[in-house]
Amino acid sequence: MKNNTILRTERLHAHYILDVYGKAKVIKAVNDVDLAIQEDEIYGIAGESGCGKSTLLKALAAAVEPPLRIISGRVTYRIAGAEVDVSTLTQEEKRKLRMEYIAYVPQGSMSVLNPVSRIRDTYRDFIESHISVHQKGEAFALAKEHLTELGLPVKILDAYPHQLSGGMRQRVTIALATLLKPRIIIGDEPTTALDVVVQRGVVQLLKDVQAKLKNTIVLVTHDMGVHANIADRIGIMYAGKIVEEAPTEKIFSAPTHPYTHYLINSLPKFGDKSPRESVPGSPPSLANLPTGCPFHPRCPHVMDICKQEMPGYTQVASNHKVACWLVGEGTHGKAA
């Protein structure tokens, strides 16, 4: 593969290590994840809630804080042609990279916007802490220009966050995150709990931004419809692992992993009222993972070997890899 991988993880394990009255409790939120995310691509991550999507994003954004810890593996960025291991960066270097190189929009848009200051002040603080502006008006002009460019009304600069609707707040947050034209934007469920019309507006904004900056977006959402509309490639996550990865069309037209099957086929469609089945059972506890393939307690095709050993990745087509015994033994990635 030609090397325009901008964001890479290698056998990444990230766990929450909690101290529950003297007993350590380990929540294995990310297990053995290999990603190679390209430049100028929208990479979608899907999976049911609690499967570790947000945790993976925290690791990607170098926003790992206790109790979360990187147990093994590494995350690398490609900055100016050179691969940089994130763990070697100092706090100051990370702070500089954040927003200028990589922008992270965490779950829940209010967290970024200060509830007691106007949007304009949030913008000003943000601009002043990252670029040296000389005149007072300069930052404001920059903010205005940026909003207009993204098609957002300029009058929201005078509003407080609580005066804006959820969808508008979400778009302001995204606008803010893209102000410095970062090479990578990481969005965690930016449209969840928004209604369909607003969701479409937010997706539209993300797409516009990506088209303009030609950068990389990593997008987490459990709404397969959103993925179908925006993502170039999709990774399906289950119990902390990427169990299938393929270009979006392939995921929808030829889902291969039994879990992906359920995910795609359980979606209701207009004009079709035939009963749809959801994934049986409930998601595994990440503190107490099943042995072998983590999906085996819920899988209709479970075999003996599934209960004992984790399957490795099998390349079923170019760009399409699956970790399932049904498809093959796989080459690497047999997690301990």
Partner 1 sequence: MKLFRDLLRDYRFAFAFGVLCILVAFALLSFFSPYDPSRWGQVPRDLRPSAQHWLGTDSNGQDIFWTATFAVRNSLIIAVIAGVVSRIIAVIVGMVAGYKGGTWDRVLMFFSDSLLVIPLFLIIVMMAMLIRASLNLVTLGLLLAFFGWAWDARLIRSQILSLREREFTQTAILSGASTFKLVINEYMPYTTPLIFSTLINNMAWAIGLEITLAILGLLDLATPTLGTMLYWAINYQAILLGRWWWVMTPITLSVALFIALYWLSVSISEYLDPRTRVQRVGAG
Partner 2 sequence: MEKLLEVEHLTKTFTLGSVISRVRITAVDDISFYIKPAEIFALAGESGCGKSTTARIIMGFEHATSGTIIHSGKKEAKNEKVWFTEGIQAIFQDPFATFNPLRMVEQYFFETIQNYKLAKSKREAIERIDAKLRLVGLTYEDLAGKYPSEFSGGQLQRISIARALLTDPQLIIADEPVSMVDASLRMSIVNLFKQLRDELGVSVLYITHDLATAYYVCDRIAIMFRGKIVEMGTVEQVLMAPKHPYTQLLRASIPEADTAHRWQGEIRLSDTEQDEYLRQGCRFAGRCPMVMDVCRRVTPPQFDVDGALVACHLYAETKQ
Which residues contact partner 2 (rule: CB under 8 A)? 48-50, 153, 155-156, 163-168, 192-201, 203-204, 222-229, 248-249, 252-253, 262-264, 266-271, 273, 275-279, 282-283
Closest separation in Å from C-beta 45 to ligand ADP: 9
326 binds, among Mg ion, ligand SF4, partner 1, none (CB under 5 to 8 A by kind): ligand SF4
Residue 131 near partner 1 by CB under 8 A: no
Residue nearest Mg ion (C-beta atom) = 54
The listed partner (ligand SF4, ligand ADP, partner 1, none) that binds 20, CB under 5 to 8 Å by sort, is partner 1
User: Is residue 304 a contact point for ligand SF4 (CB under 6 A)?
Assistant: no
Q: Is 162 in the site for partner 1 (CB under 8 A)?
A: no
Tell me, letter by letter, the H, E, C secondary structure of 181-234.
Answer: CCCEEEEECCCCCCCHHHHHHHHHHHHHHHHHHCCEEEEECCCHHHHHHHCCEE
Report d(CA 83, CA 77) in Å as an integer.
6
Q: Which of 293, 312, 316, 335 binds ligand SF4 (CB under 6 A)?
A: 293
Residues 110 and 106: their CA atoms lie apart, in Å, by 10
| Closer to partner 2 by Cβ: residue 101 or 259 | 259
- DSSP class of 279: P
For ligand ADP, the closer CB: 286 or 316: 286
Distance of closest approach, residue 110 Cβ to partner 2, in angstroms: 15
Interacting stretch for ligand ADP, rule CB under 6 A, among 52-60, 80-88, 128-136, 244-252?
Answer: 52-60
- Please classify residue 145 by burial: count the beta carbons closer than 10 Å to its beta carbon, then call 0-12 exposed, 13-18 middle and 19+ buried: exposed
Closest by CA position to 68, among listed 13, 16, 12: 16
Are 194 and 217 within 8 A, CB to CB? no
Q: Residue numbers of the site for Mg ion (CB under 5 A)?
A: 54
Nearest to 218 by CA among 1, 6, 51: 6
- Per CB under 6 A, residues contacting ligand SF4 are 257-258, 293, 295-296, 299, 301-303, 306, 311, 324-326
